[in-house]
Structure 1
Amino acid sequence: MRTVGVEEELLLVDPETGEPKVLSTAVLARAEQDDPGQEVFEKELYGQMLEFATHPQADMADLSTEIVRCRKEAARHAGEIGCTVAALASSPLPVSPSLGRGRRYEWMAEQFGIAAQEQLVCGCHVHVAVESDEEGVAVLDRIRPWLSVLSALSVNSPFWQGKDTCYDSYRSQVWQRWPSAGPTEPFGSAERYHRRVADMVASGVILDEGMVYFDARLSQRYPTVEIRVADVCLHASTAVLVALLARGLVETAAREWRAGREPADHSVNLLRMAAWRAARSGLDGELLHPATMRRMPADSVVAALLEHTGQALTDSDDLERARVGCAQLLDDGTGARIQRRLLEQTGSLREVVTACARHTRT
């Protein structure tokens, strides 16, 4: 069974006011003090963010346990220096992002200007094991139409600089400002994938392969496909749902490749429209169906994803968990819907942040 790992980016916020705090260096120092040599928590582009990465897991219950544990540890380390963590893909409150120090970050600030200054957004990246680069690229070519559905399930960034954006995932709109971000045309082979990446680096527009921000890519560090479309999810259970569906998509795509089935030939233009539609209203409106690229109710498109991955999910004993998780999201609401509901109830974006910080720790 393929292993899965999850990376989550969290906001560091004041536990009383909800305002983002530039304390990542201090939180990381505290984590290192408590556990010398720890490799769970890492710094991110901005001082208001903290990232953690789970170990690869084959069992989704084990992955869930580890995500919950990492979130609680992050909150504990942050609490020891006077802040807390919130699984929010954008800050509801106005914020002035603080870029980290170092040659890489300085280069990005100079190269990308205001686009780099406004990238304080938090994502969830899912790593799914593959057997080779050839299998990985075959997977990338075949999962392209389905990634927008994962995005719709994870939407958790409706607010930006103190205002409702009218998007459920404004993070994804901000992220598209990077010149290397977004969907890709089919690569066809590992050789063509690596040539494309090398050409992008050689252009000088990006510094290195780490700045190739495809919606899904081959990982530089691990033998995995890295799926990067999701907002960081308000609840750990949603992150697990995205991870198990990502594994289902990868396994389904690998089986299609081995069976000689060609990938769908949807253009990047249509894939961008599908991604935009998912970001605009998440599960609370229509989505583009991955097979036809025509509008359908969100629940019908989610059902299509479950059908598409059904055999793989059954074989990994994840199908019932996936069905229950999707039904709960459709009924109870995504992170974006919950944030808006909290604002309606409290009238305060500060209360939204502090309530979401509590959700993050539970």
Structure 2
Amino acid sequence: MDREAHLASDGPAVTDEVSDPPGQVEHELRTCQVESATEVQTTVEEVTHGLRELRNGLAAEAATRELRLLPSGVPPLAEDRTLAFTPSPRYQRMAGEFGAVARSALTCACHVHVAIPDRATGLAVSNRIRPWLPVLLALTANSPFHDGDDTGYASWRHVMWGRWPSSGPPPHFESEDHYESLVDAMLRTGALLDRGMVYWDIRLSEHQPTLEVRISDVAATVEEAGLLAVLVRGLAARAMDEGDAPDGKAGPPPELLRAMLWRGARDGLSGKAVDPEDGDLVPAWHLVDRLVEQVRPHLRQAGDEDFVREVLDRLRQTGSGADRQRAAFARRRQLTDVVDALAWQV
């Protein structure tokens, strides 16, 4: 963003000038966006350090152009112009095929890849994680303002992202063949231009031996990104420990899971969430605490338990990214104050 808190088209130029990052920086769909990804890490300290170095490098380069780096799920202010798509053949084709859906897809998310031994295991893990997607979304919501207004949602990014025909919660997969048959069918409809457009909230990576959890807004802080990473790893480890144990019930059907995600996107941490066991509305923090309790043995084994407790204690005091954005706005009712509070400081 520029100094007036509006979008700038220098994303490709900024990423091209950031050399030797401890991970990678890449172009994104729109020229006002940058993407950063850490190297493969095994500890939360490595994750947070890597993310901080990546953001510092991007923000420092942006500052040389009098620009700021803004970790927000969507741009808060209204824009009087539409920024161009990044000039790559794939992105240009997406713009042509999907029209206004692509033009409105100005969102920034946080994706966590967790290693899996094989794709069948990855699908079993996906089946067991999917009921927890609404809790992860509520925990990481960071996009309440868009187009100059409070949307009434903690994660407006999630709502906007849902316009893609290949987005949303994954089904409960019966097998690898089930997964592949659905992807192939979607390719034939044109809803996917390629397998990289499988936009389910959990998907198998096509390029790495990982399962990718894609439900969350971009994190305002590296500690919140680290929290998401270790909770996803804990859920995956718990699922893999269960091995070939029966899944029990298939979990909520996609239609119900979509409704649960709507609630998580709307309320975030400050309201209620849907209990995946009985469908009742309960305080969102109640389900966060239950999630942590279920993965606690894996957090303890990985040395992440203290980190999780410290970050969650801080969030109980300060609120989520969405809560903090609204608090910044409430002081003077100026969205530029939200941008100032979010902008990454080197």
Q: Could you tell me which residue of structure 2 aligns to residue 25 of structure 1?
A: 12
Rounded to whole Å, the distance in 2 between the matches of 1:203 and 1:56 is 35
Trace 1:92-111 onto structure 2 (pairs within 5 A): 92-95=76-79, 96-111=82-97
- Deviation of 1:100 after TM superposition, in Å, equals 1.6
Q: Is the 8 A contact 1:142 1:263 kept in 2?
A: no
- Deviation of 1:306 after TM superposition, in Å, equals 0.9
AA of the residue aligned to 1:308: Q
Q: Which deviates further from its counterpart, 206-215 or 292-301?
A: 292-301
Rounded to whole Å, the distance in 2 between the matches of 1:205 and 1:302 is 34
- Deviation of 1:261 after TM superposition, in Å, equals 4.0
Q: Could you tell me which residue of structure 2 aligns to residue 167 of structure 1?
A: 153
Match for residue 68 of structure 1 among 52, 62, 80: 52
Match for residue 46 of structure 1 among 30, 43, 47: 30
Deviations 1:270-323 (A, max 9, x none): 111111111001000000112223211111111111122122222212223222
What percent identity do the matched residue pairs reach? 36
Rounded to whole Å, the distance in 2 between the matches of 1:344 and 1:331 is 17
- Deviation of 1:159 after TM superposition, in Å, equals 0.6
Q: Is the 8 A contact 2:299 2:305 kept in 1?
A: yes
- Deviation of 1:38 after TM superposition, in Å, equals 8.6
- Where 1:257 maps in the other structure, the secondary structure is coil
- Where 2:168 maps in the other structure, the secondary structure is coil
Rounded to whole Å, the distance in 2 between the matches of 1:119 and 1:219 is 21
AA of the residue aligned to 1:275: L
Rounded to whole Å, the distance in 2 between the matches of 1:58 and 1:263 is 32
- Deviation of 1:263 after TM superposition, in Å, equals 5.4
Trace 1:277-292 onto structure 2 (pairs within 5 A): 277-292=263-278
Q: Which deviates further from its counterpart, 112-121 or 311-320?
A: 311-320
Q: Which deviates further from its counterpart, 87-96 or 235-244?
A: 87-96
Question: Which consecutive residues of structure 2, in runs of 5 or more, have no partner in the other structure?
Answer: none
Question: Which consecutive residues of structure 1, in runs of 5 or more, have no partner in the other structure?
Answer: 1-12
Q: Is the 8 A contact 1:306 1:323 kept in 2?
A: no
- Where 1:258 maps in the other structure, the secondary structure is coil
AA of the residue aligned to 1:25: P
Q: Could you tell me which residue of structure 1 aligns to residue 260 of structure 2?
A: 274
Q: Could you tell me which residue of structure 2 aligns to residue 213 of structure 1?
A: 199
**Under a length normalisation based on structure 2, what TM-score does the superposition of the two structures give?**
0.95
- Where 1:67 maps in the other structure, the secondary structure is helix
Q: Is the 8 A contact 2:23 2:54 kept in 1?
A: no
Count of aligned pairs: 344
- Where 2:113 maps in the other structure, the secondary structure is strand
Deviations 1:250-273 (A, max 9, x none): 111112233344354311111111
Rounded to whole Å, the distance in 2 between the matches of 1:258 and 1:170 is 37
Q: 1:289 to 1:320 in 2, by over 3 A?
A: farther
Q: Is the 8 A contact 2:122 2:211 kept in 1?
A: yes
Q: 1:263 to 1:65 in 2, by over 3 A?
A: farther
Rounded to whole Å, the distance in 1 between the matches of 2:22 and 2:312 is 34
Match for residue 174 of structure 2 among 176, 184, 188: 188
